[in-house]
Amino acid sequence: MSNAQQPSPIGDDLGLGLTLPGESPSDALGRRHVHPITPIVHGVSVVPVIVLLVVASGGGVLASFGWGIVPITVLAVVVVGLAVTGWSYLAWRNLWYWFDDDGDFRVDSGVLTRKQRRLQLSRLQAVDVAQPLFARLFSMAEVSIEVAGSGDSRVKLRYLKLAQARSLRNEVLARAAGLAGDVEEAPESALVTVPTRDLAVSLVMRTATAGLLLLTVAIFVFTVLSEGWGGLPLVLITGGVPILVVASEFMRYFRFTVSQSPDGLRLRFGLARTETRTVPPGRVQAIEFVEPLLWRRWNWVRVRINIAGVGGESNGNKKEETLLIPVAPLPVAISLVHRLMPGLDLDALDWHPAPERSRRRAFIQWRRLAVAWDDSVLATRSGRFTRRLAVIPHVRTQSVRVTQGPWERMLDLATMHADSTPGPVSVKALHLDAHYAREVADEQVARARQARGSDTTTHWAKPQDHPDI
Amino acid sequence: MGSLTDMTPDTAFTYELGWIPVSPRLAVARRLSLALVYLIVIAVVVALVLIPGVPTWVPAVVGAIAVVIFIWLWWLIGRRVRSFGYAERGDDLLVTSGILFRRLVIVPYGRMQLVDVQAGPIDRWLGVTTVQLHTAAATTDASIPGLVPDVAVELRDRLARRGEERSTGL
């Protein structure tokens, strides 16, 4: 793991040098539009979709047009592009954003249905600056702002000039942290960059991926080489799926960099689409260390985090795996986690293992199953091949559950869950003795209550002698 | 160890004192819904009898299986409804339910984000209402079905008030 040498500004401008004139206009009340180029960016981004559609259906109906397909494609691109641009222009004209007098962030939008949204910055979860491919051509960026809450709690503003996107992000973060709006961009220093080779190796060496690839080789050897090409479709599936998964994660987490800034940890990653995510320390709901079997020789772990409002089902249909780092040696990962949860000491935890009879419920992982807690966090352990260790601060515990399936019931076992906000991490102590599970649950409720009483992390940049809430 | 359903309720889930059961009318409502679903099953069986070319044993077997499942579900609904219970403590609400898959949820009042009261058409007609608690966690799953409407509204208001008093950030 090499430390990145020079601190660089957030969201490297990977544009092609095309910068556009024009500013995001504002009106007398201080309300602002996004950049006027937005409708054109939207229009242009339709082009590859149409071309792909035409190419994909080229073998069928459209082939009968012969060379006529070219003017048809051009016509389709122009018509659809103009339609999208026109609609997007109307949307642009009706989109306003500003900070109101109460310190909330306001967005009015909508062409046919008007929508007025008010984001309480005191509940801010994250502000991201991302550069999708087409926005990058024009050195533009989108800003997405997440506040805590169920349902649609994310606002996306696109597109702004990169510099403006950064300054908006800084303003939002500064106001959320309880500072005045007009502060300088927080200086940041790079902590860790995941080397490209490590990322690639780690993705291939994940248990399921490596297993599928091995299986593919086996099938290839035993069917294709000995029986002819009959086994090829199977090989394409068992080999193709992991390759697609590895490729997409590689593109996504390419050059994953973690930096420290006064706003919190800042994550930057992506090959085709670069993303910037700021994780304020007070907003982390739960974390999990994941250690696949084949990573152990390098002592690597992946760290997943739950951030309220990010990575849940509420953000579209795809569940996002929010990461603190895709792969890092354990000491590095722990030092990063310490910046989010100061005082976390995993070595000092006193583990209470699941009883021996749990082997009849969880044949493989039962030896690893355990729960532990200290004054500030609850931790659970599971997994024999892929080891998992999940940690939730008491103050972030939403509710506590005890569940028991029929099999567990026959063995007088039960599982204790400490519920966190939606995200990749779920904290559960599997297959404890039933009465012990209930005991731990009751104690956890008490610990959570006590921790909530003394929580000062919500406005974490404010002086601590003014507890809000 | 007897059969699963003969077991006494597991004390790990119920040793808290003062569990309040839900209204037995919930069982009536759920059985009525079951009967409505079975109208479709009856229609299928009748259709099988009427369609020419279907051997007579087919509707007989389908009908027999349907009757057995009906009786089992009828009985199961009664047990499931009796398994629901809730208890209000000083700082949190407890909800328990389930026969095969038992669960106990402890929701601190300060963590509640909203409290829903809802009732479908059959429920409204029979006077049973569901109170559902939401926290910032999607997995909380604390719903109390089968409350008498007055009790449900009182419970909601009481919970909302306590939530307000103890509300914290995330």
The answer to whether A400 contacts chain B (CB < 8 Å) is yes
In a mutational test of the B interface, the residue from A147, A153, A398, A435 whose CB has the highest number of chain B CBs within 10 Å is A398
Return the H-helix or E-strand segment holding A362: none
| C-alpha to C-alpha distance for A394 and A447, rounded to whole angstroms | 6
A190-194, A208-212, A430-434, B5-9: which has the minimum mean pLDDT? B5-9
Q: Determine the pLDDT at residue A57.
A: 65
Q: Determine the pLDDT at residue A308.
A: 74
Q: What is the pLDDT of residues A265-284, one digit of tens each?
A: 889 898 888 888 888 777 88
Determine whether the interchain pair B141/A401 forms a contact, defined as Cβ–Cβ distance below 8 Å. Answer: yes
Q: What is the pLDDT of residues B26-59, one digit of tens each?
A: 999 999 999 999 999 999 999 988 888 888 888 8
The answer to whether A447 contacts chain B (CB < 8 Å) is no
**What are the C-alpha distances in Å from B11 to residues A380, B104, B162?**
24, 11, 28
Taking the C-alpha atoms of A168, A40, A30 and A176 in order, what is their torsion angle to the nearest 10 degrees? -20
Closest to B128 measured CA to CA, from B119, B136, B117? B119
Determine whether the interchain pair A409/B7 forms a contact, defined as Cβ–Cβ distance below 8 Å. Answer: yes
Quick one: pLDDT band at residue A377, thresholds 50, 70, 90?
very high
Interface size between A and B, measured as CB pairs under 8 A: 115
Q: Answer with the residue of higher pLDDT: A121 or A377.
A: A377
Amino acid at A438: R
Amino acid at A422: P
The answer to whether A19 contacts chain B (CB < 8 Å) is no
**Nearest CB to A449 within list B11, B108, B114:** B108
ipTM of the complex: 0.84
- Looking at A193-320, list the stretches that DSSP marks H as alpha helix, in order from N- to C-terminal side: 196-204, 207-219, 225-227, 232-253
Q: What is the pLDDT of residues A443-457, one digit of tens each?
A: 999 999 998 877 655
Q: What is the pLDDT of residues A250-262, one digit of tens each?
A: 999 999 999 988 7
Q: Determine the pLDDT at residue A71.
A: 78
CB A286 within 8 A of CB A423: yes
| C-alpha to C-alpha distance for A200 and A193, rounded to whole angstroms | 14
Return the H-helix or E-strand segment holding A289: strand A284-291
Closest to A397 measured CA to CA, from A373, A433, A414, A415? A373
Q: What is the pLDDT of residues A310-340, one digit of tens each?
A: 654 444 444 577 899 999 999 999 999 998 8
In this prediction, residues A341-350 reach a mean pLDDT of 89
State the smallest CA–CA distance between residue B88 and chain A in angstroms: 14
Around Cβ A5, how many Cβ atoms within 10 Å? 8
Answer whether residue A99 shows pLDDT above 70. yes
Answer whether residue A30 shows pLDDT above 70. yes
| C-alpha to C-alpha distance for A349 and B32, rounded to whole angstroms | 53
Q: Provide, as residue numbers in chain A, all residues whose Cβ is less than 8 Å from the Cβ of B11.
A: 435
In a mutational test of the A interface, the residue from B139, B140, B143, B159 whose CB has the highest number of chain A CBs within 10 Å is B139
Answer whether residue A468 shows pLDDT above 50. no
In this prediction, residues A155-162 reach a mean pLDDT of 86
The answer to whether B134 contacts chain A (CB < 8 Å) is yes
At residue A251, φ and ψ (nearest 5 deg) are: -60, -40
CB A306 within 8 A of CB A422: yes
**Nearest CB to A445 within list B92, B135, B136:** B92
A335-349, B61-75, B155-169: which has the minimum mean pLDDT? B155-169
